[in-house]
Amino acid sequence: MKKIICLFVTTTLALSSCGIYTKYKPVTEVPEGLYGGAVDTLVAADSANLGNLSWREVFTDPCLQMLIDSALVRNTDLLVAHQRVKESEATLLSARLSYLPSLALSPQGSVSSFDGAKATQTYSIPVAASWEIDIFGRLTNAKRRAKAVYAQSLEYEQAVQTQLIAAVANGYYTLLMLDAQLEISTATEAAWKESVAATRAMKAAGMVTEAGLAQTEATYYNIRTALLDLKEQMNQAENALSLLLSDVPRSIRRGKLEGQQLPENLSVGVPLQMLANRPDVRSAELAVTQAFYTTNAARSAFYPAITLSGSAGWTNSAGSMIVNPGKFLASAVGALTQPLFNRGQNIAQLKIAKAQQEEARLSFQQTLLNAGSEVNNALVQYQTARDKSEYFSKQVSALENAARSTRLLMQHGNTTYLEVLTAQQTLLNAQLSQVANRFTEIQGVITLYQALGGGRM
């Protein structure tokens, strides 16, 4: 007996060194300079991180919060992700239950008669049990893999939620930008309508040529078509938002772009937080975890499976004897199954598992690099738009002065009306660009929040 115990301990230690019992060690390091040198000033040495904020702290507009709340309840993609979590949870429960014995009740009965003799009735009511002893780690690795699949489904759900919140916010602020551009264009259209009437009067008085009148009218019609384009874009943006809400096309209640407040502290934290915050990064590492335990399971296939089985119940058939009432009957069997002729297949499966594990590792590395690049792009987008906003303000102010001056000069006969048209058209373009740049600045914050793994409740 002591020899058997020693042999068992020795075998277990040997198998541990083969890797079938080892646990996956999570990644604790990230590439140096993951966010890029351009954002060093925003890389905090502590846990300060925009991605750690609740989405309600980032998006404070009440109308936007109502839209996000509705999307989190109704969006089809998020509901599908939730069902995937339930599926993987059931798979994990099944893997855990595999440690327990399997029980089966299989009652049998028969009636037989030979050469017209009195019929003989036999019956048996056994309860059969089978239990695999997990000495070689097959069940353990299957359970650990199922646990990683379950965790990955949770990360997928979080990734869908993060993407959904960012999409709703982008769609909402797109509408606010279009509203602001429409307001500017409508005011400009009204002013140009008066200019057309004034130019016609000046043409009748001989103060403006036919070419000047035609240019004024053409510019007015161009603004009218731009208004129609803006209204079409607003309709498309509202329909896109309605789809995110799993709703029919409808008008979206909203505020104004002016006065929108978003966090000014855009600290991205230390790059190592990317491993804990980004759901897609965590999901990619969990894929490595799954592949790791799949490889362990492929190794355990080289070792025997030990199964204990037995049955107990009542029967009135004991060989050639038939007794009434039935008697209690019990049996127990131990089986050891050692693979002999499928070693080549097991070797092939192990090679496949190792290759898939390496693929998952490389995919994880690329996902981490992509995440760092997204953070860098979002920060540069925000910083560039923030820097440009000051110049846009100065440009619009200068063009307003230019438009006012050219109108005064024309009234005193020192300039042509074409110069007035040019100044007003340039001013309109600058005002529209200023609004678009404000949206780009807000979009940079949204993208950065998503890139840092934000979107938690």
Q: What is the mean pLDDT of residues 429-451?
A: 92
Q: How confident is the model at residue 416 (pLDDT cuts 50, 70, 90)?
A: low
Q: What is the pLDDT of residue 4?
A: 42
Across the range 40-60, mean pLDDT stands at: 74
Cross-strand partners of 103: 129
Q: What is the CA radius of gyration of the chain?
A: 37
- 140 and 25 in a common domain: yes
Higher pLDDT, 340 or 159: 159
Report whether 349 contacts 301 (CB < 8 A).
yes
Burial 31-60 (b: 16+ CB within 10 A, else e): eeebbeeebeebbeeeeebbbbbebeebbe
Gap between the Cα atoms of 90 and 2, Å rounded:
42
Tell me what pLDDT residue 13 has: 43
- Model confidence pLDDT, tens digit, residues 100-116: 777 777 777 677 766 66
pLDDT at 167 over 90: yes
Residue 352 domain flag: no
Asked if residue 8 has pLDDT above 50, the reply is: no
Q: What is the structure's pLDDT at 324?
A: 64
Same domain, 83 and 37: yes
Mean pLDDT of 14-42: 70
Is the bond preceding residue 107 a cis peptide, omega within 30 degrees? no
Rounded to an integer, the average pLDDT of 389-393 is 92
Within a domain: residue 346? no
Question: Which of 39-53, 162-176, 337-351, 400-414 bottoms out in mean pLDDT, i.e. has the lowest?
Answer: 39-53
CATH of the domain at 125: 2.20.200.10
74 and 58 share one domain: yes
Please tell me whether residues 280 and 331 are part of one structural domain. Answer: no
Token digits of residue 223? 């603004």
205-215: average pLDDT: 79
Domain count, the chain: 2
Report CA 320 to chain centroid distance, whole Å. 68
7 pLDDT band (50/70/90 cuts)?
Answer: very low
pLDDT of residue 2: 46
323 lies in which domain range? 101-133+304-337
How would DSSP label each residue in 239-297?
HHHHHHTT--S-PPP---STT----S------GGGHHHH-HHHHHHHHHHHHHHHHHHH
Percent of the chain with pLDDT over 90: 36
Instruction: Verify that 80 and 226 share a domain, yes or no.
Output: yes
**Which residues of 113-165 form beta strands (DSSP E)?**
120-133
Q: Do residue 128 and residue 246 come from a single domain?
A: no
Report the pLDDT value the prediction gives residue 79, as an integer from 0 to 100: 93
Q: What is the pTM of this model?
A: 0.81
Average of per-residue pLDDT across 47-60: 85
CATH number, domain at 44?
Answer: 1.20.1600.10
The token duo for 181 is 């551009």
Residue 312's pLDDT band (cuts 50, 70, 90): low
pLDDT value of residue 303: 79
5 within some domain: no
- Res 48: pLDDT: 66
State yes or no: pLDDT of 278 exceeds 60: yes
CA quadruple 406, 412, 415, 416: dihedral positive or negative? positive
Contact 393, 352 (CB under 8 A): no
Give residue 97's pLDDT. Answer: 78
Query: Do 221 and 315 fall within a single domain?
Result: no
Would you place residue 174 in the very low, low, confident or very high pLDDT band (cuts 50, 70, 90)? Answer: very high
133 pLDDT tier (thresholds 50, 70, 90): confident
The pLDDT of residue 442 is above 80: yes
In a shared domain, residues 187 and 61: yes
Look at 184 and 344; give whichever has higher pLDDT.
Answer: 184
Q: Are residues 33 and 18 in the same domain?
A: yes
The more confident residue out of 224 and 272 is 224
Q: Is the pLDDT of residue 411 over 50?
A: yes
- Crossing angle of helices 138-204 and 279-300, in 10° steps, is 150
pLDDT, position 5: 41
Q: How would you classify the pairing of strands 102-105 and 120-133?
A: antiparallel
**pLDDT at residue 314 in the model:** 66
pLDDT at position 92 over 90: no
Q: What would the mean pLDDT of 278-304 be, rounded to a whole number?
A: 88
Instruction: Please check the confidence at residue 323 and state whether its pLDDT lies above 70.
Output: no
Domain contains 353: no
Alpha-carbon gap, residue 86 to 100, rounded angstroms: 22
**In this predicted structure, what is the pLDDT of residue 227?**
93
Reported confidence tier of residue 15, pLDDT bands at 50, 70, 90: very low
Averaged confidence pLDDT in the chain: 82
**Has residue 348 been placed in a domain?**
no
Domain match, 247 and 332 both? no
pLDDT value at 267 more than 90: no
355 found inside a domain: no
Is the model's pLDDT at 240 over the cut of 60?
yes
Mean pLDDT of 265-270: 78
Considering the domain architecture, whether residues 106 and 73 belong to the same structural domain is answered as no
Structural tokens at position 33: 């300079």
Give residue for tokens 């048209």.
421
351 lies in a domain? no
**pLDDT exceeds 50 at position 17:** no
Residue 43 has pLDDT above 50, yes or no: yes
304 compared with 234, residue with greater pLDDT: 234
Residue 161 lies in a domain: yes
Q: Do 110 and 74 fall within a single domain?
A: no
pLDDT of residue 1 exceeding 60, the answer is: no
Q: What share of the chain is helix, strand, coil (3-state, %, to 5)?
A: 65, 10, 25
